Amino acid sequence: MRLSPCVLLVVALGIAQPAFGAALAHSDNFLVVAPDRQAAEVVLSAAELCRKELALEWLGEELPPSVGMTVIHVELSDNSDKGLAWPIDSPERSLHKLWLVGSPEKLVAETLRHEITHVVLATQFPGKLPAWADEGAASLQDDSQRRAIRSRLLAWWAQTGNWPRLEVVFAKPIIPPGDQASYAVAASVTQYLLDRGGRNRFLRFAMEGKAAGYAQALMRHYGIADLAALEAGWQEWVRQDYAPPATAASGVTPRAGAVAPTIR
């Protein structure tokens, strides 16, 4: 169903709750509420491009017009680069809310692509993807600063042997923004699996794993016996990039109780 401009305005006023004087820009797929008209139009244009590109990357085709309508609330800030997306009408997930906070330049960069990935996947697969896979897929769009944080954690795990358990991360219903360890696991395991079978296989595995259990899904899609075998293979893959040669070769676990790096 295509929403008329009047309906879009009601959605904006009722859900986005824009401040007095906020500007609106809209299309079949997005309603953007921003401090000024220029920002609203720029974000709208970028969001449309992201929606098209990311749907082609993950689904092999564009989403139909007005499916997965998204209200984007924009706040301008030179000191922040944050985003948050969630479905308003769960479990159908045909209407989404997205918050963006950042400078005019950052508003249309990696954070927008991260959040639109969530929108595309939630629209196509409502409620079917586990949180780790959803965040892992979106993390492919992240900027170098966020990638560096995860690299520090991966290096520390590889060098100390104090790895997080995949079964714990895979079972989480959500991954909070401050849970950098789980984000690092999700991003790294996602890349590990993508290297072994591409995006379509990854999505089918993740959905089947959530619905029926990961052991069966791993064997069906990757020929991996169970979650423990996935964990061992992923750890070895990470060690190849991050562990010192002596540690990687010997498999020696450094001292117990080592403290993880502080992430700011």
Q: Give me the tens of pLDDT residue by residue for the chain, a chain 264 residues long.
A: 333 434 444 444 444 455 556 899 999 999 999 999 999 999 999 999 999 999 999 999 999 999 999 999 999 988 778 888 877 765 565 789 999 998 888 889 999 999 999 999 999 999 999 999 999 999 999 999 999 999 999 999 999 999 999 999 999 999 998 999 999 999 999 999 999 999 999 999 999 999 999 999 999 999 999 999 999 999 999 999 986 655 444 444 443 444 455 443
For CA atoms 223, 229, 233, 235, the dihedral sign is positive
Structural domains for the chain: 5-127 (3.30.2010), 132-250 (no CATH)
| Rounded Cα gap, residues 195 and 178, in angstroms | 27
Two tokens, residue 185: 């696991």
Least Cα distance to 260 among 183, 169, 175, 155 occurs for 155
Q: pTM, whole model, 2 decimals?
A: 0.84
Least Cα distance to 181 among 162, 201, 209 occurs for 162
Two tokens, residue 27: 């299309």
Say which residues have a Cβ less than 8 Å from residue 129's Cβ, sequence separation at least 6.
121, 122, 137, 203, 206, 207, 210
For residue 247, what is the enclosing H or E element? Answer: helix 245-250
Residue 79 burial (10 A CB sphere; 0-12, 13-18, 19+):
exposed
